[in-house]
Amino acid sequence: MKETTLKVNGMVCGGCENRVQNALKTIEGIKEVKADHTNNTVKIISNEDISKETMEQKIEDIGFEVIKED
């Protein structure tokens, strides 16, 4: 299992969390997603080596901004 945490701008409520979670769950290999609008994070647990870029693109496709960290 691999755990990835992304910072996401634009989530303001539980509905936003659900949109992000549901979008990410459409990626094959993702097992669990927990979005938290209070601290702007999304924690993703996957059983495959899914690229961070794939996850980021899925979030951006539904209108949220991923904060890229160096």
Q: What is the DSSP string of 25-64?
A: TTSTTEEEEEEETTTTEEEEEESS---HHHHHHHHHHTT-
Instruction: Give the model's pLDDT for residue 47.
Output: 86
Give me the helices (H) in the chain, please: 14-24, 52-61
CA atoms within 13 A on the CB side of 60: 11
Rounded CA-CA distance 5/2 in Å is: 10
Q: Domains in the chain and their CATH numbers?
A: 2-67 (3.30.70.100)
How is residue 6 annotated by DSSP?
Answer: E
pLDDT in tens, the chain (70 residues): 999 999 999 999 999 999 999 999 999 999 999 999 999 999 999 987 899 999 999 999 999 999 987 6
